[in-house]
């Protein structure tokens, strides 16, 4: 903001001198003497001289030329109506303003003119009205003191004074320094004698636009809008803006940069809220007990003799030390304790025995043994019992052997401790480090707790073990199994485009059977040409077997002697062959017969047969079963039929004895009312 103010001020100050004058040349006429009222031409003023002056200011010249007036010119009012006169001291001086740096020297031309009485205002009309002209060169610095001078020219004499002064807000030797005092947004200063800016109290820099902040305010982290204040930048605080702002929620930490949380000694965790030295900070153990830190905010107290409890706050009862011997019963009292002895014992602690083994002193199946010195007998107790006379049932949990709040279980012959979560050992004295097995996944940091652990997950993961991926951007590669990540397609995060065999939010679920849409999207599988070729081969082989079977059947069917139908042609039994037509000229429409091979071993090839001829046809013109040519089966493989014997009813086979390759086409030319064939057309 201060820089913007400086730019504005510089722009303002650079433009302002161009629209105002920097200084003024001032001239005062004191007295003019014109003896005889003469003009420069020698004539006289009629009736009297009405005198006014024209002043021409220009640059310094050794020989002053009349024109041009480079610094300007001005006309005076009528100063006198007689030949000689004095000008009143109250007369306003003639002023010539300039907008440049005053050079210190000048040339001046002062002309006295006479104005005819008919003219209302001074006007230079013609050279005949000139009274006199004075030309001078002077050196004149900027000063408020008037310089006096007298000029004589012919019959005239001029008394005058002049000076050069700077305009308001201009200073310096040549009136070139501009300074205007101000106290606003663009500056806070006054002006010196040489035009220098003098800042007001609490402001600084070239244009006095930058406030001076409070003493001690950090120049790096603080600023001010007015003198004497100290405002802090974001992330800093304090009177001098030298204290950084800690991370929100940081309890026992410090910072060197804004929003840090550097834990003090003895504290840990993200917000420095986990007490790593609970014993030192809280001193929980009482009665001179020893405190041991066992984890995040946990501890263990080792009590002095005579005290018990988690914090060793409770004194141990006197009877807990079992002061009464030989089965005596201990009773607490204000003075201490008192022992009630079993029969046969006496003394303060029931230490004196008056019984022997003859008195059967051992209870609960205990065995008595005589002794020669000291105690008269000793009892050997069964497991689970104790005492001098085996009168006490053993309570293995009476002395609270389990530490850290563990629960003691008496099992008869032994005891065991059931520990709280987070502790282990025979007495629950070991604090289990739950972080030893590294339960936190994907780079998460583990923090051991009293009865568990806590995972601080890396960016992009969540869950107790950091195993669950958070919806984030595609930089964390959330899509599994080659899925394509598309960021920004959903308000909940990125969207995964899964391959065909996986589905789910992150493509983590395998797909057993692709959906119909996926099937349509799958590229066509390549054609198994090998399988197609194998199938065609098997089909051809099957057709060949079928053809052989039909040929065998036909041979068997034609082997007997059957009567020859009337009108049938038999070119093998008839010696006359004049009725035969050349094979190359015979055409039977609907029946194409190709004959080839050697004489006597010819075969007939039938294709696209529509019906049989002669008696081979059924009652309704249908072909007989033996001569049926697989009607209405297009594209069926051509089959070769062996020629029948002399009595074959197959017309094609009867004419196939022509030992040549021929094509026969059978075509009926007319049909009867019953739809049977009547004529056979042949071409010769």
- pLDDT, tens digit (0-9, with 9 covering 90-100), for 615-661: 333 444 444 443 333 333 343 333 333 433 434 334 333 333 333 33
The band of 254, judged by pLDDT with boundaries at 50, 70 and 90, is very high
Mean pLDDT value of segment 262-266: 87
Q: Is residue 179's pLDDT more than 80?
A: yes
Per mean pLDDT, which range of 38-52, 526-540, 626-640 is the poorest? 626-640
Query: Does position 429 have pLDDT exceeding 60, yes or no?
Result: yes
Q: What is the mean pLDDT of residues 130-154?
A: 92
CA distance 245 to 238: 9
570 pLDDT higher than 60: no
Write b or e for each residue in 511-541: b if 16 or more Cβ atoms lie within 10 A of its Cβ, otherwise e. Answer: eeeeeeeeeeeeeeeeeeeeeeeeeeeeeee
What is the Cα–Cα distance from 524 to 637, expressed in whole angstroms?
Answer: 32
Q: Which residues contact 381 (CB under 8 A, 6 or more apart)?
A: 362, 364, 366, 387, 390
pLDDT at 151: 93
Strand-pair partners of 353: 345
Residue 663 has pLDDT above 70, yes or no: no
For 437-486, the pLDDT digits (tens) are: 888 988 889 988 877 788 988 877 788 889 887 765 676 667 888 888 87
CATH no. of 21-166: 2.60.40.3510
Closest CA to 20 of 149, 241, 175, 213: 175
Average pLDDT over residues 187-205: 91
Taken as a whole, the chain contains a residue count of: 684
Residue 360 in this model has a pLDDT that exceeds 70: yes
- 3-class DSSP state of 539: helix
**pLDDT tier, 249 (very low <50, low <70, confident <90, very high otherwise):** very high
Instruction: Say if 318-393 and 479-508 have the same CATH topology.
Output: yes
CA distance 167 to 22: 5
Whole-angstrom Cα distance, residue 635 to residue 224? 103
pLDDT at residue 153 is higher than 80: yes
Q: Would you state the pLDDT for residue 125?
A: 67
| Residue whose C-alpha is closest to residue 261's, from 281, 239, 246 | 246
What's the pLDDT score for residue 615? 39
Class of domain 479-508: mainly beta
CATH 3.30.160.160 fits 318-393, yes or no: no
Quote the DSSP letter at residue 606.
Answer: E
For residue 526, name the pLDDT band (cuts at 50, 70, 90): low
Indicate the pLDDT class of residue 228, thresholds 50, 70 and 90.
very high
662 pLDDT more than 50? no
Whole-number Å distance between alpha carbons of 485 and 494: 7
Contact 80, 29 (CB under 8 A): no
Integer Cα distance of 317 and 637 in angstroms: 115
Our measurement of the distance from residue 361's CA atom to the centroid of its chain's CA atoms, rounded to an integer in Å, reads 88
The residues facing 301 across adjacent strands are 291
When comparing pLDDT for 356 and 18, which is higher?
Answer: 356
Rounded to 10 degrees, the C-alpha dihedral 338/343/344/349 comes to -10
Confidence of residue 509 (pLDDT cuts 50, 70, 90): confident
**Torsion angles phi and psi, residue 11, rounded to 5:** -65, -40
The kind and range of the H/E element at 164 are strand 156-166
Q: Give the pLDDT confidence of 94-137 residue by residue, as tens digits.
A: 999 999 999 999 999 999 988 877 676 777 767 888 889 999 99
Asked if 470 contacts 462 with a C-beta cutoff of 8 angstroms, the reply is yes
**For position 677, what pLDDT does the model report?**
35
C-beta of residue 627 within 8 angstroms of C-beta of residue 650:
yes
Distance CA 404, CA 298 (A): 10
The whole-number average pLDDT for the span 342-360 is 79
Locate all alpha helices (DSSP H) within 466-528, ordered by sequence: 516-521
Backbone angles phi, psi at 582, to 5 degrees: -55, 140
pLDDT of amino acid 120: 67
Q: What angle do CA 402, 405, 409 make, to 5 degrees?
A: 45
**pLDDT average, residue stretch 1-7:** 45
Please choose, from the candidates 344, 324, 316, the residue with its C-alpha nearest in 3D space to the C-alpha of residue 392: 324
Residue 569, pLDDT > 50, answer: no
CA distance 492 to 610: 75
Own/partner contacts of 226-232, CB < 8 Å, gap of 24 or more, are: 226/202, 227/201, 227/202, 227/203, 228/202
Q: Identify the weakest region by mean pLDDT among 205-219, 338-352, 497-511, 622-636.
A: 622-636
- Distance CA(361)–CA(377), nearest Å, equals 9
Q: How far apart are CA 408 and CA 491, in angstroms?
A: 56
DSSP class of 25: E
Q: What is the mean pLDDT of residues 658-682?
A: 36
Rg (CA), the chain: 69
Digit-coded pLDDT (tens) for 204-224: 998 899 999 999 999 999 999
Question: What is the model's pLDDT at position 488?
Answer: 52
- For 165, the 3-state DSSP assignment is strand
Q: Is the pLDDT of residue 362 over 50?
A: yes
Domain ranges of the chain: 21-166, 318-393, 479-508, 580-684
pLDDT of 566 strictly over 80: no
Q: What percent of the chain has pLDDT over 90?
A: 28
Average pLDDT over the chain reads 75
Q: How far apart are CA 601 and CA 603, in angstroms?
A: 7
Question: How confident is the model at residue 514, as a pLDDT?
Answer: 52
Nearest to 311 by CA among 343, 329, 284, 273: 284
pLDDT digits (tens, 9 = 90+) for 113-124: 888 776 767 777
- Dist. CA 74–CA 162, nearest whole Å: 14
């Amino acid at each position: 903001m201060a820089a913007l103010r400086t730019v504005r001020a510089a722009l303002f100050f650079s433009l302002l001198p161009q629209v105002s004058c920097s200084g003024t040349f001032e001239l005062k006429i004191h007295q003019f003497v014109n003896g005889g009222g003469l003009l420069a031409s020698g004539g006289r003023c009629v009736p009297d001289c009405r005198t006014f002056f024209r002043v021409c200011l220009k640059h310094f010249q050794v020989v002053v030329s009349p024109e041009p007036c480079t610094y300007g010119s001005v006309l005076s009012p009528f100063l006198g109506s007689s030949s000689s006169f004095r000008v009143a001291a109250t007369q306003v001086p003639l002023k010539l303003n300039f907008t440049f740096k005053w050079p210190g020297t000048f040339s001046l031309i002062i002309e006295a003119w006479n104005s005819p009485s008919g003219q209302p205002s001074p006007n230079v009309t013609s050279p005949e009205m000139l009274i006199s002209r004075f030309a001078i060169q002077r050196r004149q610095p900027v000063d408020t003191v008037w310089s006096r001078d007298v000029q004589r020219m012919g019959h005239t004499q001029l008394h005058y004074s002049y000076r050069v002064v700077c305009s308001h807000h201009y200073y310096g030797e040549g009136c070139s320094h501009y300074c205007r005092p101000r106290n606003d947004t663009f500056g806070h200063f006054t002006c010196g004698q040489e035009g220098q800016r003098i800042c007001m109290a609490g402001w600084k820099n070239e244009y006095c636009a930058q406030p001076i902040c409070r003493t001690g305010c950090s120049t790096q982290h603080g600023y001010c809008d007015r003198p004497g204040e100290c405002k802090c930048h974001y992330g800093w605080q304090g009177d001098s803006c030298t204290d950084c702002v800690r991370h929100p929620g940081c309890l026992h930490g410090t910072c060197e940069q804004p929003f840090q949380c550097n834990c003090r000694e003895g504290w840990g965790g993200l917000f420095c809220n986990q007490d790593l030295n609970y014993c030192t900070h809280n001193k929980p153990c009482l009665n001179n007990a020893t405190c041991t830190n066992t984890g995040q905010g946990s501890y263990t107290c080792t009590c002095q003799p005579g005290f018990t409890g988690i914090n060793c706050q409770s004194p141990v009862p006197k009877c807990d030390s079992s002061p009464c011997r030989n089965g005596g019963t201990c009773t607490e009292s204000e003075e201490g304790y008192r022992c009630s002895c079993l029969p046969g014992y006496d003394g303060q602690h029931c230490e004196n025995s008056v019984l022997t083994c003859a008195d059967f002193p051992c209870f609960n199946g205990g065995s008595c043994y005589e002794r020669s010195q000291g105690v008269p007998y000793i009892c050997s107790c069964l497991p689970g019992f104790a005492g001098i006379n085996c009168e006490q049932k053993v309570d293995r949990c009476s002395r609270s052997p389990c530490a850290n709040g563990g629960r003691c279980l008496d099992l008869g012959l032994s005891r065991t401790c059931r520990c709280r979560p987070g502790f282990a050992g025979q007495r629950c004295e070991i604090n289990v480090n739950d972080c030893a097995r590294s339960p936190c996944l994907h780079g998460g940091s583990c923090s051991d707790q009293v009865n568990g652990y806590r995972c601080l997950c890396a960016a992009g993961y969540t869950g107790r073990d950091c195993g669950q991926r958070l919806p984030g951007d595609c930089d964390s590669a959330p899509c599994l199994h080659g899925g394509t990540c598309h960021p920004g397609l959903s308000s909940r995060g990125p969207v995964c485009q899964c391959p065909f065999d996986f589905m789910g939010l992150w493509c983590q679920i395998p797909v057993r059977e692709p959906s119909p849409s996926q099937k349509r999207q799958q590229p066509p599988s390549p054609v198994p040409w090998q399988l197609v070729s194998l199938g065609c081969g098997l089909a051809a082989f099957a057709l060949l077997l079928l053809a052989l079977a039909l040929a065998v059947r036909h041979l068997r069917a034609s082997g007997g002697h059957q009567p020859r139908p009337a009108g049938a042609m038999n070119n093998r039994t008839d010696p006359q062959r004049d009725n035969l037509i050349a094979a190359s000229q015979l055409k039977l429409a609907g029946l194409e017969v190709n004959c080839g091979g050697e004489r006597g071993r010819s075969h007939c090839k039938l294709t696209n047969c529509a019906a049989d001829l002669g008696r081979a046809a059924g009652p309704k013109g249908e072909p007989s079963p033996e001569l049926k040519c697989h009607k209405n089966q297009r594209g069926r493989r051509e089959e070769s039929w062996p020629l029948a014997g002399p009595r074959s009813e197959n017309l094609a086979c009867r004419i196939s004895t022509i030992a040549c390759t021929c094509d026969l086409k059978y075509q009926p030319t007319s049909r009867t009312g019953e739809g049977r064939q009547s004529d056979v057309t042949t071409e010769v």
